[in-house]
């Protein structure tokens, strides 16, 4: 088994505070193009393809898609960036951003969580989520192995959510029924959080309303370091 981080594909645009962009399941880094177009004039935007997605490697080894391995992959990218580093994550990408902050204190200066949830504390709820991913796998554009990147194996993030010690901006669409309750929970539990609810938007807010996501990024990067 190879435990070395994967050489994930990423692209860069602009100069300024470094902002890593992480997409969700069955997506890729191009989903951020409308937001990056608004930020690249004064931000260093780093758009990452997660394992098995976009132009990143798609290993057959299932351990490459587990949380610890993916966070190590992100470490390799973040190591090449100048502080402060921020992270913008959509859905799975936002969950990974919270996991990164919790397991690597001081690594990030802030998070923007777009249509994101904190995972599940209940074993049954986790298995129902995993079964939903399994059932939908035939409709995805990634392999069944790569789809396991979205599985939840524990409740670490939701159990430790109050330990997230960086500023967080939440962006959620009013029509994203699957994640509205999760954002209510995050808004209550995160110690330093601001929320933007975009009326009429659904899960892919960065496509329908990129201005809202860009404004959330600026709300963090404009703060004194």
The domain spanning residue 79 has which CATH number?
3.40.50.1820
Closest CA to 168 of 106, 97, 119: 97
Closest CA to 91 of 223, 224, 207, 221: 207
pLDDT at 2: 47
Residue 139 lies in a domain: yes
pLDDT at 142: 98
Residue 212 lies in a domain: yes
Q: How confident is the model over 188-204, as pLDDT tens digits?
A: 999 999 999 999 999 99
Residue 35 lies in a domain: yes
Domain count, the chain: 1
- A 10 A CB-CB count for 170 gives 24
Q: Which domain holds residue 198?
A: 10-221
Residue 186 lies in a domain: yes
Pair of tokens at residue 81: 């960036």
Residue 90's pLDDT band, with cuts at 50, 70 and 90, is very high
Residue 4 lies in a domain: no
CA angle 205, 209, 215 (to 5 degrees): 100
Residue 58 lies in a domain: yes
Residue 180 lies in a domain: yes
Q: Strand ranges (DSSP E) for 85-192?
A: 85-90, 110-114, 168-173
């Amino acid at each position: 088994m190879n435990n070395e981080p994967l050489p994930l594909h990423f692209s860069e645009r602009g100069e300024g505070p470094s902002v890593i962009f992480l997409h969700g399941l069955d997506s890729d880094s191009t989903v951020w193009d409308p937001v990056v177009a608004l930020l690249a004039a004064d931000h260093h935007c780093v758009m990452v393809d997660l394992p098995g997605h976009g132009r990143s490697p798609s290993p057959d080894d299932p351990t490459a898609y587990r949380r610890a391995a993916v966070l190590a992959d992100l470490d390799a990218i973040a190591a090449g960036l100048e502080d402060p580093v921020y992270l913008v994550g959509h859905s799975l990408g936002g969950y990974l951003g919270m996991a990164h902050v919790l397991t690597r204190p001081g690594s990030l200066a802030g998070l923007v969580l777009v249509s994101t949830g904190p995972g599940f504390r209940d074993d049954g709820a986790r298995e129902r989520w995993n079964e939903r991913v399994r059932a939908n796998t035939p409709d995805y554009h990634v392999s069944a192995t790569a789809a396991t990147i979205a599985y939840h194996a524990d409740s670490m993030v939701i159990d430790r959510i109050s330990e997230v010690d960086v500023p967080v901006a939440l962006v959620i669409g009013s029509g994203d029924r699957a994640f509205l309750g999760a954002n209510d929970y995050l808004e209550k539990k995160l110690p330093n959080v601001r929320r933007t609810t975009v009326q009429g938007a659904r899960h892919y807010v960065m496509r329908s309303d990129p201005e809202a996501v860009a404004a959330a990024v600026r709300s963090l990067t404009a703060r004194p370091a």
